[in-house]
Structure 1
Amino acid sequence: MYFFLSNLSFMDICYVTSTAPKMLSNFFQEQQTISHVGCAVQFFVFSVMGLSESCLMTAMAYDRYTAICNPLLYSSVMSPTCCIQMVLGSYLAGLSASVFQLCAILQLHFCGPNVIHHFFCDLPQLLLLSCSDTFFVQLLTALLTVMFGILNALIIVVSYCCIVISIMKITSAKGRSKAFNTCASHLTAVSLFYTSSIFVYLSSSSGGSSS
């Protein structure tokens, strides 16, 4: 669990670092600008870490499911090798998807005025600025949303349904409390991740302060 949490912390640090420094610097500058390369790099890092974190959340849900529903098999199922493979798989999945998305975006043409009504270079805002046909990028984004967002969220929900059923079968109150505490850190991380993701998406779609 702590191995997954340490990687989750690293992703969150990279996730925030890709946007917060530039956002803070813009607060103290009269002319708020970002280069095309800087915008692409910011979006790429943000996308890689966001998609990777979504996969890692799902891996952590499976880890908690195994720990509570199959405790006797936990050590053999969730071996150090398996944990490393799951984490690397999360990074590779996020990286692969982000590379495809970035390549699609780089094919677009931007005619100006290139004013982003948001605090970072997010995809919905970039699509609004493009004077090219964005259908392929939108289709790709929809597919990635289903794969990394909805599908992962469903897996997490199913995992926790099984976990709750297993916990309710525990006779002692102390045992149920210990099982719930085992899931507390992951549930907190999942809640914060999906809540912040929804907030960022809604704010990006509706528009915010220009940068």
Structure 2
Amino acid sequence: MKKLIKTTIILLCSINISFSQTTDSAVLYQEAINTIDADKASKIYDKIIQSNSKSDYYWLSVLKKAEINYAIGSYISASSLLKEFNVDAPPYLVTEDTKDLFFKSLTAAGETDSLKVYQQKLNKSVSLKKSKTIKSKNKVWFIQFGAYSKKDSAEILKESLREDGLKDIQVNQVMNRGKMIYYVRSTNVKSYSSIKKQADKLKKKDIDFIISGY
């Protein structure tokens, strides 16, 4: 009985730590997205990456860090981060744009041999990996537009999205270690393909978002 109680406590602590890392990363990621100073934003992305939680925000921070490195001409560093993202990130985060940036970065870095290898590898395997992974997970999916520590900020984003013509936007509040986090999200759907179609339409509007689920 004591062993069972001890195991349960350890499991609950692990879940709580993982949840806390995810919610903290969400707020930090939003802060970085809203930061105009690239150096400051880069440091925030570094902080999320160093948490090593491997949440969606970890991978998106790897991508954003790579984009910054590419923009300032650090092509080798950008290529390394983009390789990690395109090869190891959850398939629903990998897009043709992220692969294209990886290929451009390899070209700029003079890595022509690596370019040929990864063009063949990613174009052949990612689509297969993507379909298998998504089908194997029974998730509720939604689009997340932001995460804030203040409700007013979340409501402002919600109204802004509605003004842009988006419907069914809601603010979800989650208590984390005594602090309330406010998420701006779409309504939940059970089909990944449905949420993916919504996301494809949003790309034309130049709106920051991630596809997420549980």
Instruction: Specify the TM-score bucket, using the shorter chain as the normaliser.
Output: under 0.3
- Name the TM-score, length of structure 1 as normaliser: 0.28
Q: Which has the higher strand share?
A: 2
Q: Which has the higher helix share?
A: 1
